């Protein structure tokens, strides 16, 4: 984040890690701003930090420069997973995003939430290129029959995930909007566990791996927590040096989304939550694409389709607003 976005607001500084219940908690560090005592309570610690659900002090921001709201408690402090106070934000100087919660609040001791970013053009579309690798690691293999999987994190409001397969760590820190490398995994039913760095388990779910299958397992927000979405990454046939594009909607609250090009020669209409479309073969070229809901265009970005490559355009949230949609384009080169 650009340092200008903090606007010299000490309340913007994230506290990591968040203390365990009873160990004390973060307070406004204080600055008398030359007022000789107008802020004489600043910096007074509150010990202990209440248990989850009992309320806790936070610095709510700057109300016009006199800091007369410093130390105002937010009651109650939500239980883990219910949300919590975050960086008050600054969207172009008018603070219209101040107090926007990040949901869920990490578990005690796991770290504190921070502001995830403003709607700058750079957050709207990101491209990750995955090159073919002759040898992939084995996440969990106990036979000669296996498939290939990777993991994608689209869940907002969480610290990096640790992902385990049958209690063996496969990925030790998967960030938001990040995809892991492919790895081999034995065919059959396997247990995928997504947890925090402190061992707290968010979700554990069995998936079925077919022999020779290639899959992406996406971690997604839902109204009730996290879920895992299984996405088949079968190769798309690209004769004559063509390319392939498909779309996946991983935003639980945006409703059906449509992706189209300016000329409307490529259209994926009303893609619902957790849906993955079929591939469409396209001529290698640069395409400007638009993502819209039923009422408005939410963002525009571009994709340069290259010969012999296939692309998945993932659409998901960058904050809790149903219209705060971004794209992550994964290019798989064959």
pLDDT tens digits, 73-122: 444 444 444 444 433 333 344 444 333 333 343 443 333 333 233 333 34
Whose tokens are 């509150």? That residue is: 46
Structure tokens, 180: 């892991």
Residues 328 and 236 in one domain: yes
Are the beta carbons of 127 and 331 closer than 8 angstroms?
yes
State which of 115, 146, 170 marks the end of a domain.
115
Q: What are phi and psi of 45, to 5 degrees?
A: -75, 150
Residues 201 and 57 in one domain: no
Residues 254 and 321 in one domain: yes
Question: At CA 323, angle to CA 122 and CA 313, rounded to 5?
Answer: 55
- Alpha-carbon distance 264 to 248, whole Å? 18
Burial degree of 101 (CB within 10 A; 0-12, 13-18, 19+): middle
- Number of domain units in the chain: 2
Are the beta carbons of 217 and 276 closer than 8 angstroms?
no
- Neighbouring CB atoms inside 10 A of 129's CB total 12
pLDDT class of 42 with cuts at 50, 70, 90? very low
Residues 253 and 309 in one domain: yes
Residues 139 and 204 in one domain: yes
pLDDT digits (tens, 9 = 90+) for 190-216: 999 999 999 999 999 999 999 999 999
pLDDT digits (tens, 9 = 90+) for 16-37: 455 555 445 444 444 444 444 4
Q: What is the mean pLDDT of residues 152-174?
A: 95
Structure tokens, 176: 């938001």
Residues 85 and 176 in one domain: no
Residues 159 and 246 in one domain: yes
Residues 179 and 34 in one domain: no
Tell me what percent of the residues of the chain surpass a pLDDT of 90.
Answer: 51
Q: What are phi and psi of 240, to 5 degrees?
A: 60, 30
Residue 136 confidence (pLDDT): 67
Most confident of 142-146, 256-260, 300-304: 256-260
Residues 102 and 151 in one domain: no
State which of 115, 130, 152 marks the end of a domain.
115
Residues 187 and 110 in one domain: no
- Alpha-carbon distance 300 to 151, whole Å? 26
Residue 300 confidence (pLDDT): 94
CA 183 centroid distance within chain = 22
Residues 186 and 248 in one domain: yes
pLDDT class of 135 with cuts at 50, 70, 90? low
Q: CATH no. for residue 136?
A: 2.60.40.1120
Mean of all residue pLDDT scores within the chain: 74
- Alpha-carbon distance 305 to 221, whole Å? 29
Domain that holds residue 61: 1-115
More confident residue, 103 or 140: 140
Residue 215 confidence (pLDDT): 95
Residues 200 and 262 in one domain: yes
Torsion-angle region of residue 33: left (phi > 0), alpha (psi -120 to 50) or beta?
A: left
pLDDT class of 244 with cuts at 50, 70, 90? very high
State which of 99, 115, 131 marks the end of a domain.
115
pTM of the complete model beyond 0.85: no
């Amino acid at each position: 984040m650009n340092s200008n976005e903090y606007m010299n607001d000490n309340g913007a500084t994230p506290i990591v890690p968040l203390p365990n219940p009873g160990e004390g908690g973060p307070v406004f560090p204080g600055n008398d701003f030359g007022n000789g005592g107008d802020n004489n309570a600043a910096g007074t610690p509150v010990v202990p930090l209440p248990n989850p659900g009992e309320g806790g002090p936070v610095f709510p921001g700057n109300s016009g420069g006199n800091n007369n709201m410093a130390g105002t408690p937010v009651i109650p402090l939500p239980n883990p997973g219910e949300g919590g106070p975050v960086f008050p934000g600054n969207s172009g100087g008018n603070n219209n995003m101040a107090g926007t919660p990040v949901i869920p609040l990490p578990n005690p001791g796991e770290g504190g939430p921070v502001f995830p970013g403003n709607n700058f053009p750079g957050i709207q579309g990101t491209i990750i290129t995955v090159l073919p690798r002759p040898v992939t690691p084995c996440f969990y293999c106990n036979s000669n029959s296996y498939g290939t999987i990777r993991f994608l994190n689209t869940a907002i409001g969480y610290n990096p995930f640790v992902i385990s397969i049958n209690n063996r760590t496969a990925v030790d820190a998967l960030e938001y909007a990040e995809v892991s490398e492919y790895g081999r995994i034995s065919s059959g039913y396997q247990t995928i566990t997504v947890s925090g760095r402190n061992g707290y388990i968010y979700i554990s779910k069995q998936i079925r791996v077919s022999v020779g299958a290639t899959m992406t397992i996406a971690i997604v927000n839902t109204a009730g927590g996290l879920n895992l979405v299984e996405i088949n990454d079968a190769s798309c046939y690209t004769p004559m040096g063509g390319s392939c594009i498909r779309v996946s909607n991983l935003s639980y609250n945006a409703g059906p989304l449509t992706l189209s090009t300016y000329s409307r020669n490529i259209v994926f209409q009303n893609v619902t939550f957790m849906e993955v479309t079929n591939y469409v073969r396209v001529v290698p070229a640069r395409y400007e694409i638009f993502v819209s809901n039923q009422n408005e265009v939410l963002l525009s970005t571009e994709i340069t389709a290259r010969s012999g490559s296939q692309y998945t355009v993932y659409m998901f949230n960058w904050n809790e607003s149903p219209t705060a949609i971004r794209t992550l384009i994964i290019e798989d080169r064959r």
